[in-house]
Amino acid sequence: MTVDALDLPTAGRFVGRVHRFPVRVYFEDTDFSGVVYHANYLRYMERARSDMLRVAGIDQRDAFATGAGVYAVADLTIQYRRPARFDDALQIHSTVEVLRAAACIIDQRILRGDELIAQARVTAAFITPDGRPRRQPADWVDAFTRLLPTP
Amino acid sequence: MTVDALDLPTAGRFVGRVHRFPVRVYFEDTDFSGVVYHANYLRYMERARSDMLRVAGIDQRDAFATGAGVYAVADLTIQYRRPARFDDALQIHSTVEVLRAAACIIDQRILRGDELIAQARVTAAFITPDGRPRRQPADWVDAFTRLLPTP
Amino acid sequence: MTVDALDLPTAGRFVGRVHRFPVRVYFEDTDFSGVVYHANYLRYMERARSDMLRVAGIDQRDAFATGAGVYAVADLTIQYRRPARFDDALQIHSTVEVLRAAACIIDQRILRGDELIAQARVTAAFITPDGRPRRQPADWVDAFTRLLPTP
Amino acid sequence: MTVDALDLPTAGRFVGRVHRFPVRVYFEDTDFSGVVYHANYLRYMERARSDMLRVAGIDQRDAFATGAGVYAVADLTIQYRRPARFDDALQIHSTVEVLRAAACIIDQRILRGDELIAQARVTAAFITPDGRPRRQPADWVDAFTRLLPTP
């Protein structure tokens, strides 16, 4: 069976330097209070970051498999503005704000249409498989640089 | 902001009476042994069932909000054939096999290209908000009937 | 069958005004990079907050069922210091730092023995079932006040 | 800081050949329909199996770290009988039913006091780190044999 493009998961897309990634809220994401469980927004944001890297041409699986390294969240701040609910179609907007040798800072916003559901600032550090900080691969830095605001 | 169709989550699509739904494997889905954690395939399959209903024209959110009822898994059998890994693009194939007054039985297969990752048989029962079995709404039965194999 | 005390889940305990709550790292908590997935520390911290309330005499289930309200995380900051791994025995130390009419701020630390794994500051807001801010019940404020540092 | 026994997570205990393991239902476990999300019972059961091994003297972490192998669920059947809810104190009762060279079959029941919430039959296969079936270590077979019913 060849897989039709219609049957591939979306990786989102860049509009300017903002990566947009769609997410549907399923049963698993909510809790008995009727809204999305707060920790699950972090799962949404991680999916968006992974696919932002994919669209930017960065292969995380290969980097881990070859022992180059992997991103780990070092620091995260999130403000929850409004609750999202079962069946909502959300968008995650991700923007690389700061690029350092061994880390980058990403602004992420979760939206339902025009409404801001949550906003976060995430520091992702590049580390070796055994956990020590390491410079990001040069071509990754190039890929990120293209995503940064023009000074 | 109007939401562009490109920025909406996919709900999959029917090819004949099989609903096909794409899933990407993210960090959250795997465990330290390097493969997808076994319980997470149930999350994938529930997303697929929810979107199969959506594409078939059934509004689960409205049914719950108005007090009509909600589906609950009553019974599930799954065989795990091969492991899926980080970054894999999977497909969930869902087929309604049996339709009863207050339940339906769905066959679900998880595929990576041609390879069978897992296969499951799920009985979903329609229940009232306080948990008693209830007949499915008539128009839902109609929607499911159209998805059944021609006898 | 009567349930033996040995077969009840622990709710942790207060040592002074710090609530200590034990957590074991299971398969579900880790990802393929070999460590605990970053969002899962938020699940650990929420378990600890729920059981801190329980030990302090606050019944969240009853408050939600009677329509009084429920806590929702409004704001969260977390620093990840060291990775935790499968099978680790962790402790969550939670301390109420600030008490407001409709919210409280809780300091939470995740420890493995002496090592700091992560530290967080969580603002939990009390809201009505339909999501508007509401003053916390008077007896809850009393319970929290007993947990605050002596000025 | 030395860790007090009171601050260690419980691993449950054997009563005869049945391993009993307590679980509390937290926000993360429920969904908007008000009950525990069906896939989360699999997480509870995996925690119970991991701690059953621990109490039986089997060190899964070491077996994986040294390359001996790891358990993977090969097959699972579950019947959901009654819903569990936020704040419920549950117990997982696990019994080794069948022991084969490279796999074992475990009966697991989820109880709330006397009430049966769900029951499952889980086949766990021992596999090498790269996924091929392998005989279980001899001392693990001995540990399991002690847990089997006297013929």
In this model, does residue C1 exceed pLDDT 60? no
Task: Give me the catalytic one of C4, C7, C29, C31.
Answer: C31
Instruction: Report CA-CA distances (Å) from D93 to A62, C100, D19, D45, D88.
Output: 41, 43, 6, 9, 16
Which region among A3-7, B69-73, B143-147, C102-106 has the lowest average model confidence (pLDDT)? Answer: A3-7
Residue of D32, D39, D85 lying closest to A30 (CB–CB): D32
Give the pair of three-digit tokens for residue D21.
Answer: 């393991």
Which region among B81-85, C4-8, C19-23 has the lowest average model confidence (pLDDT)? Answer: C4-8
In this model, does residue D131 exceed pLDDT 90? no
- What is the DSSP-derived secondary structure letter of residue B38? T
In this model, does residue B149 exceed pLDDT 90? no
User: What's the mean pLDDT in C34-51?
Assistant: 97
Q: Residue D2 has what pLDDT?
A: 61
Q: Residue A17 has what pLDDT?
A: 93
D31 is catalytic: yes
Give the pair of three-digit tokens for residue B118.
Answer: 């897992």
Give the pair of three-digit tokens for residue B34.
Answer: 């390097």
CB A77 within 8 A of CB C72: no
User: What's the mean pLDDT in B109-130?
Assistant: 95
Give contacts of A35 with chain D, Cβ < 8 Å. 32
pLDDT band at B104 (very low <50, low <70, confident <90, very high): very high
Task: Give me the catalytic one of A4, A31, A62, A142.
Answer: A31
pLDDT band at D5 (very low <50, low <70, confident <90, very high): confident
Measured between alpha carbons, how far is B134 from C45 in angstroms, rounded to an integer?
38
CB C127 within 8 A of CB C70: yes
Give contacts of A86 with chain D, Cβ < 8 Å. 32
Give the pair of three-digit tokens for residue C90.
Answer: 């962790």
pLDDT band at B2 (very low <50, low <70, confident <90, very high): low
User: What's the mean pLDDT in B142-148?
Assistant: 85
B78 to D80: CB separation less than 8 angstroms, yes or no = no
Measured between alpha carbons, how far is D53 from D60 in angstroms, rounded to an integer?
8
Nearest to D66 by CA among D144, D139, D137: D137
Residue of D38, D72, D131 lying closest to B73 (CB–CB): D38
Q: Which chains have 3 or more CB–CB distances shorter than 8 Å to chain B?
A: A, C, D
Listed in sequence order, the DSSP H helices in chain D are: 40-55, 60-65, 138-145
Which amino acid type is present at position C132? Answer: R
Give the pair of three-digit tokens for residue B39.
Answer: 């319980």
Residue of A7, A27, A85 lying closest to B91 (CB–CB): A7
CB B118 within 8 A of CB B81: yes
Higher-confidence position of D41 and D141: D41
CB B17 within 8 A of CB B104: no
User: Homologous superfamily of A17-147 in CATH?
Assistant: Hotdog Thioesterase (3.10.129.10)
Q: Which chains have 3 or more CB–CB distances shorter than 8 Å to chain D?
A: A, B, C
Q: Please, what is the end-to-end C-alpha distance for chain D in angstroms?
A: 48
Proportion of chain B above pLDDT 90, given as a percent: 81
Q: Residue A50 has what pLDDT?
A: 97
Q: Residue A5 has what pLDDT?
A: 79
CB A118 within 8 A of CB A109: yes
User: Count H helices, E strands: chain C?
Assistant: 3, 6
CATH architecture entry for D21-145: Roll (3.10)
Q: Residue C148 has what pLDDT?
A: 79
User: What top-level class would CATH report for the domain B15-145?
Assistant: alpha beta
Higher-confidence position of A149 and D17: D17
**Residue range D45-101, pLDDT digits in tens:** 999 999 999 999 999 999 999 999 999 999 999 999 999 999 999 999 999 999 999
For the domain C13-145, what is the CATH code?
Answer: 3.10.129.10
- Got the DSSP string for A50-65? HHHHHHTT--HHHHHH
Give the pair of three-digit tokens for residue C2.
Answer: 């009567």
Residue given tokens 């021609």 in the structure block: B150
Give me the residue spans of the domains in chain A.
Answer: 17-147
C70 to A33: CB separation less than 8 angstroms, yes or no = yes
Tens digit of each residue's pLDDT, chain A (151 residues)? 566 878 899 999 999 999 999 999 999 999 999 999 999 999 999 999 999 999 999 999 999 999 999 999 999 999 999 999 999 999 999 999 999 999 999 999 999 999 999 999 999 999 998 889 999 999 889 988 888 876 6
Pick the residue of C32, C87, C88 with the most B CBs within 10 A to test the interface with B by mutation: C32
Output the average pLDDT for chain C: 93
Give contacts of C31 with chain B, Cβ < 8 Å. 27-28, 30-32
Q: Specify the 3-state DSSP secondary structure of C61.
A: helix
Instruction: Report CA-CA distances (Å) from D111 to D21, D46, D108, D115.
Output: 10, 15, 10, 6
CA C87 to chain B, closest CA, distance in angstroms equals: 11
Give the pair of three-digit tokens for residue C54.
Answer: 């329980």
Q: Residue A123 has what pLDDT?
A: 98
- What is the DSSP-derived secondary structure letter of residue D133? B
Dihedral angle computed from the Cα positions of residues C150, D3, D9 and D12, in that order, rounded to the nearest 10 degrees: -130
CB D81 within 8 A of CB D35: no
Higher-confidence position of A131 and B78: B78
Give the pair of three-digit tokens for residue B97.
Answer: 């096999």
Output the average pLDDT for chain D: 93
C33 to A76: CB separation less than 8 angstroms, yes or no = no
User: What's the mean pLDDT in B39-51?
Assistant: 98
Side by side, the strands of the sheet bearing B13-15 are B13-15, B18-24, B89-99, B103-112, B115-127, B70-80, D70-80, D115-127, D103-112, D89-99, D18-24, D13-15
In this model, does residue C2 exceed pLDDT 70? no
Nearest to D103 by CA among D79, D146, D132: D132
CB D12 within 8 A of CB C35: no
In this model, does residue C142 exceed pLDDT 80? yes
Q: What is the pTM of this model?
A: 0.96
Q: Residue D129 has what pLDDT?
A: 82
